[in-house]
Amino acid sequence: MTPVDESPPPAAPRTTGLPRRLLRPVAAVLSGLLLYASFPPRTVWWLVLPGFALLGWVLHGRRLRAAFGLGLLSGLGFMLPLLRWTGEDVGPVPWLALATAEALFIAVGCLAIAAVTRLAYWPFWAAAVWTLDEAVRARIPFGGFPWGKIAFGQSESPFLPIAALGGTPLLSFAVVLCGFGLYEAVRRGMAYRSTGKIPRAAVAGAAASVLVPVAGAFAALPLVDDSAENGTATVAAIQGNVPRLGLDFNAQRRAVLDNHARRTAQLADEVKAGKVKQPDFVLWPENSSDLDPYLNADARDIIDGAVREIGVPTVIGSVVEKGSDSLRNTLIEWEPDKGPVATYDKRHIQPFGEYMPMRTVARFFSEDVDRVQREFVPGTEVGVFDLAGTRVGLVTCYEAAFDDAVRDTVTHGGQMIAVPSNNATFGRSEMTYQQLAMSQVRAVEHGRAVVVPVTSGVSAVIRPDGTIVEKSGMFTPDALVEDVPLRSSLTPATRMGPLPEGLIALLALAGLGWAGVTAVRARRTGGTAR
């Protein structure tokens, strides 16, 4: 039986006047802003801890209705600035709609967190509830939207090794637990000052809430390994750049293709001159050829010429027609002497970007929905290319946010991971840095080097320990050539897959169930649920 928290709370200050009533709402918004500030491109990852400590104070012991409202304020403080890039070229309405929808998920999660704060050792239950809330957001609606997962803000954090132990769910759980534990430690300290007494179990619980995640991060350090188990491969990531920012770059598809072919030819000249090492294979980004090379002879000739010039297998990001009314976002393995030999179709396609669910409703928010006239269809097969003897797992742009999409490439034999991306639509916003951080987390989670070629930047080469060894600027042509370690061993996170997330979800549901039983008993006895 799970014990309930029977120690008296510290005396609440008398709330007289409007400023007192505003204290918790303002603190809720501030907690969300602290969570946002902990994300890249900033490197102040530690702000997530006071963010959750403040949220713990806001929600602890609150009635459920109040907790929902406070959680919504915190969610808006978090999601509105975090997702600002979604309105870069389509205006503020879609951005506000998406941020509000995500904040509503957080509000429901905060309602549940308030319920479990009445249990003993509540930080553990509350962290599990937050992680469960992230799992739900990553799946519904329309396949989910995992952006804003707390783990993705920890790419420079000492907590990062936990990703190799239990993936992003365990990393999120540990960080949130530590934040809530900090508040519980402060709360217990204030109770001791006011009463002179404090239960030993409560002290142990507060200490464990903080120390267990920290100890877990140190214990997981040996799992982070960037040694070359299977030798190395020399990889070239091409960033050809786009003619101009924004959605209209698609109207200049030929120019984008020409840019990538030109930068590849320039790399070939640099190799011949001995300025850079000959790559074993080359990676172009997503949408580097929006002209279908299977139907457009001109595009095929341009790609074939560039690949022949560099003389090694090259991965091309293209839009391929699928029937008369649909498209596929496809990566093509292009050999110098054979042409296209293999393809991977993006499996997690982006709602309201690559396809348009609820078109009539979406049009109410933005007329830009009609730009998506031919919708993409998702692929079904895991993408792993054999490039000059190196097995490369393929994750296209948006897919990097989904746990299963990345893990599948490793369990299917990927010795390294490529994340071809196209962020040109989002200009110079924070989006590209947020996505790059995801790739850093994935590198540690699965113990694989990750190479990120992007049309307009930031392209990067990431080692299996999450460190960026080379990266490009934004909106400038570039070619990154780097030796990367190849690995075949599997981290515990890769082996267990969704198991840690499932166990955390069961913990959250158990806490919510016990909180419900406690509340019912309290009503029957006329007491409190504390």
Query: Which residues are catalytically annotated?
Result: 286, 346, 397
Residue type, 290: D
User: How many angstroms separate the CA atoms of 134 and 112, rounded?
Assistant: 13
Rounded to whole angstroms, what are the CA distances from 111 to 62, 68, 449?
9, 5, 40
Q: How many residues does the chain have?
A: 530
Q: Which of 80, 136, 101, 145 is nearest to 362 (CA)?
A: 101
Q: Phi/psi of residue 472, each to 5°?
A: -100, 170
Exposed (0-12), middle (13-18) or buried (19+): which is 429, by Cβ within 10 Å? middle
Alpha helix (H) residue ranges in 38-158 = 48-59, 64-82, 92-116, 122-137
Chain mean position to CA 64: 29
Other Cβ atoms closer than 10 A to 308: 15
User: Partners of 343 in the beta sheet?
Assistant: 332
User: How many angstroms separate the CA atoms of 123 and 530, rounded?
Assistant: 15
* Helix (H), strand (E) at residue 320: strand 314-322
| Residue 140 DSSP symbol | T
